[in-house]
């Protein structure tokens, strides 16, 4: 009846060389939907510690105009 989901592992815990920073908008763009919302943990598989740093980095990147708040196609 219930399908077991594959256990997701945090990509940032696995690979210590990956940095979460507002200076890497290409990495942050993977964690933002096409409408500009931050993707939750249950979809990305990121641990809670890294999800908090991700959301802070996304918010800073938006303030510095490295990431858009919303996409142009949704006006």
pLDDT tens for each residue of 24-46: 999 999 999 988 999 999 999 99
Question: Residue 3 and residue 15: Cα distance in Å, rounded?
Answer: 29
> Quick one: pLDDT at residue 19?
92
Q: Quick one: average pLDDT of 8-20?
A: 91
Check whether 74 has a pLDDT greater than 90.
no
Check whether 9 has a pLDDT greater than 80.
yes
> Quick one: pLDDT at residue 28?
95
Q: Is the separation of the CB atoms in 18 and 11 below 8 Å?
A: yes
Domain boundaries, given as residue ranges, for the chain: 11-68
Question: Residue 46 and residue 56: Cα distance in Å, rounded?
Answer: 14
Q: Where are the alpha helices (DSSP H) in the chain?
A: 11-14, 25-28, 41-44, 48-63
Q: Quick one: average pLDDT of 68-73?
A: 79
Q: Is the separation of the CB atoms in 34 and 69 below 8 Å?
A: no
* Domain 11-68, classified CATH 1.10.10.60, yes or no: no
């Amino acid at each position: 009846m219930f399908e077991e989901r594959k256990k997701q592992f945090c990509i940032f815990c696995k690979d210590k060389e990956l940095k979460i920073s507002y200076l890497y908008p290409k990495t942050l763009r993977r964690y933002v939907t096409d409408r500009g919302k931050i993707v939750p943990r249950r979809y990305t598989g990121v641990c809670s510690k890294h999800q908090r740093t991700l959301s802070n980095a996304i918010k800073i990147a938006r303030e510095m105009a490295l990431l858009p708040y919303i996409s142009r196609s949704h006006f």
